[in-house]
Structure 1
C-alpha cells in the first residue's frame, strides 16, 4: 500500500535545492523518514546556542524568522521551500541564531542520519552544501553570499541604521480584492490565486464585514470543517478589526501583535462604517522594517504590478544607502544589489507576459546588457537590453518580430515605471534593431566583427557584457559561441577593440587637474563615467577576451582573474580592480546624494579628501591604457 503522505512530501521537496538533485528513488526513501511539525505563531523551533537537533528543517507552509536572541531585528525570513538548521549539524556546532515561527507554520523535519549518506554519494548535493558553507547561508542560490552579512561578529551594528522611521505612515496595498457574503469558497480561492494575494475582503453594501485569509482556508476548509461549496459568510473572520488609513508603522506592528492577526483592514475613518481603502499584511510590514535582501527579494517575487515593484525598489535604495554607510565591501554590495535588480527585471517580464493577449509563437531570451550585464548597476541608471527569439521561416519572421516588439515595449515601459530610464540611444528590445532572431543576431554580430568601424566596435562590445535575465539561456549561449568563433578567426578584431578602449578622453590634464566638460548641459562638470569608469571597464574587457575567458563579466573580477593569469602585471591589475570599485562606489554615493545617475560631478561640491581619492585612480587609468596601447600595438589613435 502506498504511503500518500510521503508521496506528497516527495512531490514538494523535488522542487527545491538540494532535493531537486536527488533521483526519484532517493527522494522517496528520504521522504519516508520525514516528520511533519506544526508550529503556532511565535513558537521557537530552536534557540541561539542550543545544541543541534537530529534533524534540519524545510518550510512547507508559513514562515520562520531567524534572529539574534533577544533582538527585534529579523536577519532573515525562511518561507516555502527554504532550508534552515542544516549547517550546525554538518559543522558540529551550536545554532548561531534563534528560529521562531513568524506565523502559523508547517515544517518538514529531515533526519540528518538519513540525509548525510545521500549528500556524500551525490556530487550535486555536495556542491550545494559546499557553496552553502562558503556563503554562510542555507540556500546559496537565493541571493549570492547574502549570509556573509550575518556571519560577522557585529551583526547588530550592521543593521542598526534603519532609514524608515517608526512614526511615518505605512504604505499599504490599495488594490482591494473583494467578494460578497454569498460568494462560494472555491470561487474565492481561485480569485486569491489569480491575483496572488493572501486575503480577500468580504463586503456588504460596499462596507467591510469580514475577511478571509490563507490561514482561514487552511484551518476551516483544508481540515474539512467547512466544504469548499460553503459561502464566504460562514467562513470569514468577523467582526473585522479596522484602522484609519494614516496608520503609522509602529501602530500597525502593535495592532497586529495586540489582536494576534496577520492582516489589518484600513478604512476612511478607521471604522467599519466607512469604505475600505486598503489591506495591510504582515509581509508589508516586513518589507517596511526589513531593509533586508531576502525580504526584498520575496517582496519582488510577489509583486503583481509595476507600481508595487516601484515601491519595493525604494527599499532597495535604502538597503544600498545602509550598506554604503556601514562600509560593507562593494564587491558584496554589488552582488546583492545586482541580484535584486535582476529579480526586479525578471518580475517586470513576468508581469508583462501575463498581460499579453496571446501566447508568444516561439521561445526567446531577454538579455540585460551594459552595467546590469556586468553586475555593476547599483543606481537606477538607463536600460540596455535585447531580445533573441528562435529562428522561424522567412515568411513568418516579421509577424514573429512584431509579437516580440510588443512584448519589448511593454517590458521597457515597465522597467521605466519602476525606475530605470529609457536608453538615450534606444538600445532596447522595443527597438527592432535590438529584437532579432538568433540567425539575424549571428549575422549582424559577425558583420560588426569583420567590419570594425567605431560604431561596430561599440555595438559588438556590448555583447561581451550581458546577463541572461529571462528565457532560454541556450539561445544566448549559441550566439555567444558564434561571436567568439568569429573573433578568434579574426584576431585583428581585438586590436580594433583595444582602439575603442582608448578613445575615451583622459580624466586629467597638466598638474593632474580634472578635465571637465567645456560646453553643453554639463559644462564645468566632471564626467566620471566617460573619463574614469569606461576606460577601466573597456580595458578589462579586451584584456580578458584576449585570454579567451568569457565566463567573467564583472570588471573588478576580470582584473582579479587577469592578476592570476599575468603575475608580472599583478600589481597593476589589482590596482585596476580596486579603482573600478572605488569609482563605482564614488559614483553611487554621488547619485544617492543628488538623486541622479551620479555620472556628472560638480567639483566645487567635493571636499579635498574626495578630490584626492578620485585623483588616485587617474594614475591607474593612464597606466592600464598605456599597457593596452603597447600590447595591441594600437597606432594613430584618436585620444
Structure 2
C-alpha cells in the first residue's frame, strides 16, 4: 500500500530548497520519516535555551515568527518563516541549544525533518550543505549585528552570502610562469611581458618555489636605480614564498593573503616549499570569485570614471539581489544592501557630473532622492525621482544659481537613465525647475502643500515626504524637515487628505475573495501589486508616522516597527503590516527579476496555488490598517 501522507509531504518538499536538489529516492526516504505538527496562533515550537530537538523544520502552511529576547526582556522579531522556509536548523549545523523562540504567527502546519535521516542521505551533497549554512547564518541572531545594523558591509550580511562562495575550492592559475634561480632580472621581465602577467615565480631545478617577483618589485627596485636590469633575480625576489595545498578554499586563500599581507599564494603538491609548484592563486582570482560581494561592488562604483562602468556595477547588484532572494535572506537586509549600492551609484554619478561643470557649485546644495529610493525600498530598476535643494541666495542671484544646478541635474539624470533608471513619467526629477529650488522656496512649497491641501498637493507631497539626503549639505535637509513638521503642527485637515489618499484603493480581494485586477487597457486582467497592495501600506505608514511627529524614519517597515513602540496596544497590527509589506516587496521583486520588468503587474494565472495563498494572507493587514485610519482620522464622511 502506498504511503499517501509521505507522498503529499514529498510533493511539497520537492518544490523548495534544499529538498529540490535531492534525488527522488532520497527525498522519498526523508518524507516517510517526517512528522506533521499543527500549531494554533501563539503556539510555541521551541524557546530560547531549550535543549535542541532531533528535528529541523519547514513551514507547510502559515507563518512562524522567530524571536530574540533582549537584555530588557523585550522580544525582537528576527525573521518570519513563510511556506517553504526552513527554520530551527541550529541543531543540524551547530548541535547547540536554541537561541531563538519560534512561535506560530497564525494557524500553521509545520513539517519536522528528522536530522539523522536527513544527514544520512545528504552527507556527500555539498550544495545542500552550502544552502543550510546560509540559512543558518541568515536567521541566526547576532547581537553585534543587532546593535550595529548600519555596519552591514563589515561583519554580517556580506559574509553570510560570501561564506557560501568561500566554501568553494579556489580557482587558481594551473600553469604558473616561472624562471630559474640563475636567471637575470631582464630575462624574468621579458618573460612577464611576453605572457602579460604581473608576477613570476623563481624556482630551483626541482621546480620548488624559492621566491616571487612582481611588477611592484621591478618598479621599486629597478626603475628607482637600486639594482641594474641585469641583476640576478635572487637580489630582488621576495622570499620565502607562502604556500598552500591545491584543495584550499577561497576563504583559506583570502585569510592567508590577509595574514601575510601578500597578493600571491604559491600552490604546491604537498602545500610546502619543499615540493613542486603546481599553481598560483592571486588576489585578483579571489576577487573574481567574490565578485558579487557588496564590498567589491561598492569599490567598483567608487573607482568608476564613466557611466558605463556604473551600469556594469549596478547590473552586478541585480545578480546579487537574485542570489540573496534564492538564499532566503530576509528582505529587510536585502533592502539595506541594495539601497546602499543605489545611493553609492547616485553619489558617483553626481561626482562625475560635477567634473563636467565649468565651475564649482556657487553655493552648497543637497541631492534628495524621493519616493522608493528615498524610503530605501528600490530593489529593481524603476523610474528615478529626485530633487535638489540649494542654499539661499539673494533674489538677484537666484536665476543664475538655479540654472547652474539645473545643468548639473541634467548630467546626473542622464547618467542615471543610462545606468538603467528610467526618467520619471511625471518629470519629478531634479532637472525640472519645479524640483530644483533654494531652501527658502522649498520651505514655502511644503508649507503651501500642507496648509492648503488639494488633490495635486497631496499627490506631490506624498512623494516628497519620503526623501533622504544622498549627497551634499545634510543641514539643508534637516532644516527643511524641521520646517515641514512645524507646518504639520498647524493643521489637521492635511492629515485627512492623506488619510483619504491612503484608503482610496480598497483591499485587493473582491466579495468572493477573487483578486481585483485591472479592467481595461494594456494591463487588463493583470494584478497591480504596487497600487493595490504595497501603496496602501506605504501610505498608511507615512500618515501615521507624520501624525506621531516622528522625524527621520522613511522606510515603510521601519515606520511600522517604530509605531509598535509608541502604540503598544496596536503592536500586533503594525507587526502584521510590516511583515505583509516585506512579503509583498519580496514577491514583487521576484516577479520583476523573473520577467525582467518592474514586477508591478502580475499575471495571476502564472502563479501556483501556494503563491496565491501567500499573497492573500498579506491582504488582511491592509484591510485592518485602512479601517484603523478611517476611525482615527474620521474619514467615513470625508471622501
Question: Normalised by the shorter chain, which TM-score bucket?
Answer: 0.5 to 0.7
Q: 1:332 to 1:474 in 2, by over 3 A?
A: same
Matches within 5 A, 1:273-292: 286=287, 289-292=290-293
- Structural mapping, 1:535-574, within 5 Å: 535-574=536-575
SS of the aligned residue for 1:510 comes to coil
Query: Which residue is equivalent to 1:124?
Result: none
1:134 equivalent in structure 2: 144
1:147 to 146, 156, 159: 156
CA distance in 2 between partners of 1:532 and 1:161 (Å):
40
CA contact (8 A) 1:136 1:145 kept: no
Separation in 1 of the partners of 2:453 and 2:167? 50
Which residue of 2 is the match for residue 442 of structure 1? 443
Cα deviation 1:609-635 (Å, max 9, x = unaligned): 111111111121111001001100013
Structure 1 residue 226: deviation in Å?
Answer: 3.9
The root-mean-square deviation of aligned C-alpha atoms, in Å, is 4.1
Identify if the C-alpha distance between structure 1 residues 511 and 637 changes in structure 2 by more than 3 Å, giving closer, same or farther: farther
> 1:596 offset after TM fit, Å?
0.4
* Partner in structure 2 of residue 398 of structure 1: 399
Kindly indicate whether the alpha-carbon contact (under 8 Å) linking 1:144 and 1:339 is maintained by their aligned counterparts in 2.
no
Higher CA-based Rg: 2
How far apart, in 2, do the equivalents of 1:288 and 1:495 lie?
54
Alpha-carbon distance, 1:143 to partner:
3.9
The reply to whether residue 509 of structure 1 matches residue 543 of structure 2 is no
Aligned partners of 1:526, 1:628: CA distance in 2, in Å? 24
In structure 2, the partner of 1:408 is 409
Alignment CA distance shift 1:537-1:283 (3 Å): farther
Aligned to 1:475: 476
| DSSP-derived class of the 1:449 partner | helix
Per the alignment, in what secondary structure is the counterpart of residue 420 of structure 2?
A: coil
Q: 2:428·2:435 contact (CA, 8 Å) conserved in 1?
A: yes
| Residues 140 and 528 of structure 1: CA distance in aligned 2, closer, same or farther (over 3 Å) | closer
Q: Tell me the equivalent position of 1:306.
A: 307
Deviations 1:484-532 (A, max 9, x none): 1001122322222212212234412111211111111211111110010
TM superposition shift of 1:319? 0.9
Cα distance in structure 2, aligned partners of 1:282 and 1:311: 21
2:460 is aligned to 459
Per the normalisation by structure 1, the TM-score is: 0.61
With structure 2 as the length reference, what TM-score do the two structures score?
A: 0.61
* Cα deviation, residue 287, structure 1: 5.0
Provide the rounded CA distance (Å) in 2 between the counterparts of 1:261 and 1:628: 60
- The corresponding residue for 2:598 is 597
SS at match of 1:511: coil
Note the residue ranges of structure 2 that are not aligned, 5 or more in a row.
Answer: 1-125, 131-141, 173-192, 200-212, 232-249, 255-261, 265-281
* 2:380 counterpart of 1:371: no
Match runs of 1:182-261 below 5 Å? 219=217, 226-227=223-224
Query: Which secondary structure does the structure 2 equivalent of 1:408 belong to?
Result: helix
Query: Bigger CA drift: 572-581 or 348-357?
Result: 348-357
- How many residues align structurally? 432
- Is residue 583 of structure 1 aligned with residue 593 of structure 2? no
- Cα distance in 2 for residues equivalent to 1:399 and 1:579: 48
CA–CA separation in structure 2 for the residues paired with 1:304 and 1:515:
47
SS of residue in 2 equivalent to 1:490: coil
Report if the CA contact (8 A) 1:144-1:335 is conserved.
no
Evaluate the alpha carbon distance shift between residue 547 and residue 592 of structure 1 in structure 2; reply closer, same or farther with a 3 A threshold: same
1:426 alignment partner in structure 2: 427
Q: Tell me how far 1:160 sits from its aligned partner.
A: 7.8
1:357 to partner: Cα distance: 2.2
Cα deviation per residue 1:451-472 (whole Å; 9 max; x = unaligned)? 1101101212223211111000
State the SS of the aligned residue for 2:422: coil
The 2-side partners of 1:145 and 1:494 are apart by: 41
Q: 4+ runs of 1 displaced by more than 3 Å? A: 139-146, 148-151, 158-162, 207-212, 215-222, 224-228, 281-285, 635-638
| 1:271-310 deviations in Å (ceiling 9; x for gaps) | xxxxxxxxxx965972564321111111111111111111
Q: Is it true that 1:321 corresponds to 2:322 in the alignment?
A: yes
